Amino acid sequence: MKKEIPKALRKTFKAMWDEKFGPSEILDDSESVRKSFLAKDGGAGSTKVPTQISYEKWDCTALFQATIHAKSFANSTGQTLHDLYLRSLGLPLGSFHSSVVSPRGDPEETRALAIDQLRRLRNSLAHLADDEMDKVTFDQNIQRTKEAFQVLGISTEVIEKRGKLPETDFPTSQTSKLKFERNMLAIGVALLR
């Protein structure tokens, strides 16, 4: 999922840009369009988005800034998607949205909820203490990712395939097995001395 989230966010950023500024200014990742984004977002020093590099190289943090926190996508009073739809929810760290669909049927709120759900998922994955999670949490994260991708219009095929893989196919299981085998070998060598 870690690799799929930034891909989805880039597609979402492009869709948001093209919706709001196209067809006169389609996001083509040129320096001029990135400079336009920077200008719309208040100029140098006002955004954490690295507009000097291709948006294909932006990490998740930059993509969250470029979507839910961007002035480019703010309403006429300057409220960002985060200001409008997320701040008032006050969700605690480590929690998730119960739904990524706007209760009022507002498509912008739905988009903000889905992006924020991906942010929360990414943060939970980035802060795993030992790179392991139980099956229930894994399944919940797969479902949360699929729901967010669906409302953002992103294919869920890769996520669905990943959700169907047996535990033995995951690097954490392989890593744990290798660590166990390495420890057993070390114990065996120590006993032979």
Tell me, yes or no, whether 174 lies in a domain.
no
Q: Which domain holds residue 109?
A: 4-167
Between 162 and 52, residue with greater pLDDT: 52
Segment 71-80 mean pLDDT: 94
Distance from chain centroid for Cα 4: 8
Segment 117-135 mean pLDDT: 84
pLDDT band at 67 (very low <50, low <70, confident <90, very high): very high
In 10-145 the beta strands, taken as DSSP E runs, fall at none
Residue 179 has a pLDDT of 47
144 pLDDT exceeds 90?
A: yes
Domain count, the chain: 1
Amino acid at 68: I
189 pLDDT exceeds 60?
A: no
24 pLDDT exceeds 70?
A: yes
Tell me, yes or no, whether 183 lies in a domain.
no
Tell me the per-residue pLDDT of 81-115, one tens digit each, with 9 for 90 and over.
Answer: 999 999 999 999 989 999 999 999 999 999 999 99
Round to whole Å and give the CA distance between 72 and 42.
9
Tell me, yes or no, whether 23 lies in a domain.
yes
CB 159 within 8 A of CB 8: no
Tell me the per-residue pLDDT of 150-166, one tens digit each, with 9 for 90 and over.
Answer: 999 999 999 999 888 77
Q: What is the DSSP letter of 88?
A: G
Residue 168 has a pLDDT of 62
CB 47 within 8 A of CB 41: yes
In 64-160 the beta strands, taken as DSSP E runs, fall at none
Residue 167 has a pLDDT of 67
Tell me, yes or no, whether 172 lies in a domain.
no
> If you search the block for the tokens 């480590």, which residue do you land on?
94
Round to whole Å and give the CA distance between 170 and 173.
6
Calculate the average pLDDT of the chain.
86
pLDDT band at 128 (very low <50, low <70, confident <90, very high): confident
The structure tokens listed for 50 are: 């690295």
Tell me, yes or no, whether 121 lies in a domain.
yes
CB 80 within 8 A of CB 70: yes
Tell me, yes or no, whether 187 lies in a domain.
no
Segment 168-185 mean pLDDT: 50
